[in-house]
Structures are given as structure tokens and as C-alpha cells.
A and B are shown apart, each in its own frame.
Chain A
Amino acid sequence: MSEAESNTVRELPYVMAINEGIREVLREQKNAFIAGEDVAIAGSVYGYCAGLLDEFGEERVIDTPISEKGIMGLGVGASATGCRPIIDLMFMDFVGECMDEIANQMAKMRFMFGGKATLPVTVLTMGGAGGSLAAQHSQSLEAWLAHLPGMKVVMPSDSYDAKGMIISATRDNNPVFVVLNKASLAMSMEVPEGSYEVPLGEACVRRQGKDLTIVAFGRMVHEAMASVDRLKEIGIDAEVIDARSVQPFDTETVVNSIRKTHRALVIHEAVKFGGIGGEIAAQIQEEAFDYLDAPVMRVAAPFSPVPFSPALEQIYIPNADSILTKVKETLAM
């Protein structure tokens, strides 16, 4: 992790950290712009583009029609021809509207052209459940994206990472999806002023422990951290790894941890079947089978669309309770 250019640190909610990240990028990269639905005069539906239009003007903060294919095509075409676009995809669920531009064009163009194309495009999008936004505005579809060779996918869980990863993503010469999450928007923590990077592809150990490695990303990092004290009550000292980047995935940090704890639990908000947890579990077994004292377990959403009713949504999203239950199962307690 590179040092922040400024030492001034203040508490900043996730939503404002995103804003600062974009702002730093637009200040330092003259070929960067942000385009998306409601980003300019409305300042984004989440508020994280507030003030950008005033500072950078119409040419660099661009309201688009509700046309995800067009918006993503704009990102592909503009990045391939020398710009460094930030494309804002309002909800992650909308990848279905533009999956061709993402999967067949953006991710593959460099490879198909024999390395002649470079696409420094960053896509900001918002994933996750928790607001009763129901089945089409709450999904966690990172596995769809991480399955695409050529694509990078990161999921910052907190303010510091959100700002740093947006900056890193825009400096990267590949298409990068920065998957933000709604549940973190109001969470505050200390964030430095100025520009700094959080490297893409490096996991972060959020808490040291010796009995069990919990691998989480995005919002689930907070649920994992919330479970730590309750695990302690039943005598388990858990290590929590924030994977942060889904593609590329930092297998090494995870495996190193498991060599120490001998047990692993993977948590994600996406449905379990076909989720990234399966990939992580497989990698652990390939790389660290001899160190395991128990099967790798997963906590994830049940195989159902995200429900609307708060009563159902609450039990749908993995939380400290479901983590505790699964840990007990893992350790045969």
C-alpha cells in the first residue's frame, strides 16, 4: 500500500470517499471523465458524484440516457482510443443490459487484437442487498464478471479502500469493475486527503487469529468482523481476510493464513451455487489441502432471488448469526 500524499486524515463516510476518489482522478488525469445515469446534475442517485459537475464541467461529468449498452460501449470505445473513462453503472443488476459490451467487447478486445488495444476503463457499480430494493436492484453478481478473462473486479469494503481502489483502478491499463456496496455507504472511517492507491489483487488481513480463517469481501467483511467477538465467546480466535479483489484473487494471502489456522470459511453475499466462494474453496484445497483440519465451508445467500420483504431479506443476507452457526458446524461444535 502506497503512502498517502497528504497526512491529513479525517473521518469520511464511504459515499464521500467514493466522491473523493473520483475527484482525485479527474484532477490528475486530463483524459479522464465520468459518464453515467444521473451523475451530473443529480450527482448520482447515491450522492457520490455531488459537486463533480461544478468542479469539472459538462465535458467531463456526463449525464447519459438510460442506455447501459450505450454507456458501456462509450467506455469501450473511448478507452480504446485514448481516454480514461469512469463509467457509472447505477446498479450492478444492470450488467444484464450491457453484458455484451462488458463480456464480449471490453474484456476481450485486447486479447482479440493480439495485444494492440489498451482499455483503461473503470466501471463503478453498486451491488448488494439490504434496502428492500428486491430482486433486480440488490444482487451480487461479481462471479459473472470475475469469470471473464481480461476483466478485473474489486470490491472495496470500506471508505479507505473505496477511494484508494477507485484511484488504482483508473491508473490501471485494464478494464476494472469497482463493485461498491450500498450497506457501506454511510459507514465512516479515517481517510487521508489527497491521492493514494490500494493495489488491485492484494487481500488485507483485517484481524489476526489462530483458529480459523474467514475470507470475505465487500459488505461481508463487516459481518465477519461483527462475528469475531461472538466467536471469541465460544473460544474461537478467528482471522479475518478482506479479499478486496475478486479478479485477480490473492490466493497467497489466504493460503498463508490457512497454513496457520488450518480451517477456512468463505463468506459472500451472492448466492452460494456458482459463487466465488466455490472458486476460493477449490483454490484452498488445491494449494493448502495438507494444512486443512476441516473441510472448507461457505456462508452465502440461499439459492433464491433477493426477496423484497424486510422479514425475508434479513434472513437472506448472511450475517454474524449465520457465520456463527457455520463456524460451529465447521469445527464440529
Chain B
Amino acid sequence: MVAKKKTENSNGPSQKILQELHRKMVRIRKFEESAGKMMEDGKIPGALHLYVGQEAVASGVMQHLSNEDWITSTHRGHGHLVAKGGEFKPMFAELFGRSTGYCRGKGGSMHISNMDLGMLGANGIVGGGPPIAMGAAFSNKFKKNKNVSVAFFGDGASNEGSVHEAANMAALYQLPCVFVCENNGYGEYTPQARHQAIVDVADRAAGYGMPGVVCDGMDVMAVYEAAGEAIERARNGEGPTLLECKTYRYYDHVGVRGMGLNYRSDEEVEEWKNKDAIEAFEKRLLQLGVMTKKKIEKVHSSVNQDIEEAIAFANDSPYPLPEELLDNVYNEEA
């Protein structure tokens, strides 16, 4: 249940929750910035889809979830895992392809997961997550617990048949499943206007038979409030919701760069950066006296330190041994 705790003489979440939201966003931002740098330095092999810019969405949603609640993520999944409680050491180790990683170096960026935290994986397939989240929600309903599942997907994935099928079934069975569409305006490198005839993915909710809501995905409190309502509905057995968060990725579909490109203008990127979720939230927390400048700096420096330690840990970690290759293809336990 969403705790509607009140701070002194005001309505809304407690200072503790506000500080947690802030820390989550900072952790995601710094993890991703470092990961991007590590990739450019050749430390991280393969493809990296960075979540920078979208921090408010993962943080605002995940604040309402426990380890018993399931999420499915996307190819842009580090942020979701960080917000769900993922630790930097096994995350960096996974990106580095080391045996100490969350997936023992078998998954990497696109499949990073931690079942213990209720995270059913990043997913290399666009639209891969929602049917799985729907299945996990079915499981929760079947077991009659009060847990929910949340499917994160993008505007690009909203055109996949798998998303429609999952949404229809979630509504049909009234499953405790929240579909969070992170509409960042681009399906890979294709602007939304070139990949769908609608602008609000939430408009499709009516067709599935569930409520659809649009919220500002650059405002962590907007996401927090809207997600809180959707998740509470799901927990109370009132069925699924399609929550669309309008957001933006600062970097490219894959890798870092992000500017000087044909498919979007630098002005557009700058406009969105002016709405940066972390900066705006820090400004407001200062105004409210929830945090001081010093305290904010302390969050940044402690996250920086966590990152340094995690990168050192990943660097020092061994690669998986050749004989580990065939481990875990099958579950050998009877």
C-alpha cells in the first residue's frame, strides 16, 4: 500500500520518501554516466542503452514497490534495476562481463536482472517484457498475494503485438499489472510521428479496457503520484492501468553521443535538458527545506564513491571460467 505519510503541516510524502526519490535519481544518473564513459574507454563490451534523462520515471514508480513486486524492464534497463535496489558492484561487474556480476557475466547490459529484487530482467527484445509482467501478475493473482507487477516499455514497443496481447489479457483477467509507457519520443532512431499515428499512447488504454493516464515523466513527483494511484488500484484488485510518462533520453538509442545527429535537433535535446528531473527536484527540495545544499552534495559524493568502489570491484573481478559456459543452460535440479 502507498503510505500517504504527511510531513509536518503539509500534504504529501514524507521527507524520507523525498530523499529516497532524490537518491534514486542521482544513483541512476551517475551509474549511467559512468557506464557510458566505461564503454567509451573500452571497459564495457557490447551495446549499452543509457537511461539518462528518464530517471524520474523509474524512481517515481519504484518508490511504491517492494522486492516482492515484479517488474520487467527494457533494453534501457539499468535505471530500472538501480531504482529497484540494484547494487552498483554486481551491476558494473555484469556490464564488465565478470563472474561476480548479477548474471555471472551471462547477460550483460541487455539482460541485467536480479530476481531477489523482483526484477525480471532487462530485455533485448522491444516489447519482450509486457507479456512476462502480465504472467507475473497472473502469478500474483493466482497466489492471492497483494503483490503487483509493472511492465516498463517505450513508445516504440507500444507498436508491438506482444504489448497489445499482454494489455488485453491483463484487462481481461483484471490482473495487478501496471503498464508504464516511457514515451521518450523515439523508437530507436525514429521519431514518434514516423512510427505511430497517435501522440498519447495512453489513448490506447480505452481499447484495452483499462484506464489510461498521461503524466510528466520529467517530474518525479508527477510520476510518483500517478504511479502510486495506479499501483494502489492494482493491489486492491481493481485491475491494470496504462500510465504514460512523457520523457526524453539525453543520449542515443545506443551508446552515448546524443548530439549533432540527423534524427533529432540539438535544440530539442537542450529543451528537454532544461526540464531535467534531478535539477528541478533538487531546487524544490531546497525550497521546501527537505534538503540543504550540503546534504545534496553529500548524496552526490557518496554516490560517486559507491561508483568508484564498484568500478574497482568490477575491474578486479575475474572473468567467468571457460567451464562455466554451459552452466545454467538448463536447471539440472530434479
Contact = CB atoms under 8 A, between A and B. Distances in A.
* Complex A–B touching at CB under 8 A: yes
Contacts of A77: 70, 72, 120, 131-139, 149
A117 interface: yes
Contacts of A82: 139, 143
Nearest to A107: B329
Contacts of B133: 77
Nearest to A66: B165
A275 to B, nearest CB: 23
B327 interface: yes
B329 A150 contact: yes
Interface stretch (A43-51, A108-116, A123-131, A306-314): A108-116
A31 B137 CA distance: 14
Contacts of B72: 77
Interface in B186-206: none
Contacts of B327: 115
A74 B169 contact: yes
Interface in B92-121: 101-107, 111, 113-116, 120-121
A86 to B, nearest CB: 13
A252 to B, nearest CB: 18
Contacts, number: 152
A179 B126 CA distance: 29
Question: Which range holds the interface residue count of chain B?
Answer: 35 or more
A265 interface: no
A70 interface: yes
A105 B143 contact: no
Most chain A CB within a 10 A radius of its CB, from B115, B130, B334? B115
Contacts of A112: 103, 106-107, 111, 113, 121
A110 B113 CA distance: 11
Most chain A CB within a 10 A radius of its CB, from B107, B143, B161, B169? B169
Given A100-B128, A112-B107, A117-B115, A70 B169 contact: yes
B166 A73 contact: yes
B169 A65 contact: yes
A88 to B, nearest CB: 15
Contacts of B329: 110-111, 149-150
Interface string B153-183: 0000000011001101100110000000000
Interface of B: 70, 72, 101-107, 111, 113-116, 120-121, 123-125, 127-128, 130-140, 142-143, 149, 161-162, 165-166, 168-169, 172-173, 327-331, 333-334
Given A69-B165, A112-B113, A114-B328, 19 more contacts: A31-B142, A59-B142, A65-B172, A67-B169, A73-B166, A74-B135, A77-B120, A81-B70, A82-B139, A85-B135, A101-B128, A105-B125, A105-B132, A110-B330, A113-B106, A114-B104, A115-B327, A115-B331, A116-B115
